[in-house]
Structure 1
Amino acid sequence: MATSAPLLGKAAHSKASIFYGADEYLEELKKRYAHDHEIAALKNALPGEGDPNAAGVAQSNDKMLSVQKNNENRSLKTNRLFPTPNKPDPMPQNLAFLFTKITPEQMIYMWNVLTAIFCSQVLMVIGYCAALATFPDYWWTCTLCFGVPFSYIAIQNIYIDHDVMHGATFPVYEWQRFLTHPFADFFSLPWEEFVLEHNRHHASTVDLLIQGEFGWDPEEFHYALQQWAGPWSSNWYKYLLTVPFIPVIHFFGLNDTGSLFALEWWMHFPDEGAGGKCNKEFWSKWIPRRIKHNAFVLSLWACIWLLGTYPLGRPLSEGWRFMFTVSFFARIGYSAAWMFITNFTHSF
């Protein structure tokens, strides 16, 4: 049970405490949904009951924040009815755990785990630098001993990100939103937009094999590389031209936590205002978030650059050697995770 987990405190916390208690976090969660009404609107548009903490947010008519369907509740692309969850009633006892709502204590615990992953990544990079400084003649040994576990923890980072996104959308503390995926690329989407685009994907693609059925899906390009030519049996040779590029585009950042994907999303969101005017929250909400998030990301990579200089007896101009090695193994891990989530699960 999450309540007995080592990273989760059991005692109640006062307002003066530097730690949140479950009740305080739940109240803060409702305020966050009211402020980030875009996330609430998309979550409430998904099949199912939505997030009860976002229940007070009205439905949005913005194209990016709503499901695209006709007056008969059917897809504009396939004419299929928008699906509704087939929740058993009465609920069999052996299935009840699948529909149990996550508790505030479990939400806090999930963010603690995500924070621990970031701290582990930082310590691994520092340890790698120390190993190279201590054993300069064993570059390959030090690098592989660092790189393989670092790629693995990057994979776990994405799976924890995904669970936190759906189960505990907003961080317990403001600073935690910067720790979710800074090692993935040299710039990327802020946490809130990461959540938004992923929920946009779920709202658009409710069937794993029919992409963009209920609106634009930001991940459609990935699917095109593996599905554009039609049935595999008669078109297998065509896929030889496109499928090999899937790991390449992931490696260079065309995934949810990458730089190329961030550029794609920013070209679509937020929706323009009335009469083609700039969205009223573009400058007040979204631009500051993007600047703050990527300032943190760039600062992190600048520190990694510096670790690769004087501690290793190298000039400042050669810090890229250490930084690119760290980024290489990080990208392997993040790419592997996203290839499974995006391409593998949407290919059967």
Structure 2
Amino acid sequence: MRFGLFIPQGWRHDLAGIEPELHWGVMAGLARRADGIRDWESIWVYDHFHPVPYPTQEAVHEAWSLMAAFAGVTGRVRIGQMCTCMSYRNPAYLAKVAATVDVISEGRLEMGIGAGWYEHEWRAYGYGFPGAGERLARLREGVEVFRQMWTTGTATFAGEHYQVDGAMCFPRPLQGTAFEGSQRNGIPMWIAGGGERKTLRIAAEYADYTNFLGTLEIFKAKSDILKQHCADIGRDFDTITRSSNFNIVIGHNAKEVEERFRWIENHLRGAGVPEADVALSLQTYRESPTVGTPDQVASALADLEDLGMAYAITNFVESAYDLSGVELFEREVIPALR
């Protein structure tokens, strides 16, 4: 199994209480740390502008600015976003940005992309909030623009939502050209989301990786549907790497796990999150399959690996303040799955 690590950027109130002038030092330090530990193949951030589970005024740092910054302070680990919202940026422009980051990183970029869902920030930023059908149509059109620009250097596309006429992307990304990488898309493309009729169909057509919910029942169901979409279009299902995101709440024993939950609860309250949203967030964390002792977490991931989940992207909500959970995972969980 392969492993990625979310770097706290504020979206989950995971920088609250840290002075803004220290934010980059915290993020860069954690990125450099992961860069030096071979077990971490990649580092990730979220493409969001307002925090969850409630939009307080706590800081959230923008994903693509961080992509370029992380590219400059690391030298091995791959860098990605889980996942970029297609409608937040023109796809031709975003393809150009991504190609530049791929060059800066010397071919280490992963492109996570999805249709988007966080209505509050959509409306706040003036994007409206179109229905799911339109958001998914934009996703499909946008990834076609990406592929053209990255693999040929230009794109011409006349869609319902996006039109480009000879948009140029030089230099092209290093991946798929000078460097070994995805031959389908140039930059490896992660299609995120589990929508059965449209999102997984788009993934069958374009994805190098998928990312959908990592519970046993849901992961199996989505995988079966993705496999059928691949069969329908004549694509080899096994050429797509399936991944999931996991909130890790880990301790040596049940007492330590509960102490970590109490820390999360108090931390969110201290950040000004209303009680109802604190409760909702705790429920989300508790429902993660990766809660418990190292043996329990490793067992849960092994069960998912048996279903084809080959890449775990992990989030430790406390990592900007306390690395003991990350260290325990590195010491006892990752080796069990290697």
TM-score, normalised by the number of residues in structure 1? 0.24
Larger Rg: 1
Structure with higher helix content: 1
TM-score (norm 2): 0.25
More contact order relative to length (CA 8 Å, sep ≥ 6): 1
Quick check: which one's strand share is greater? Answer: 2
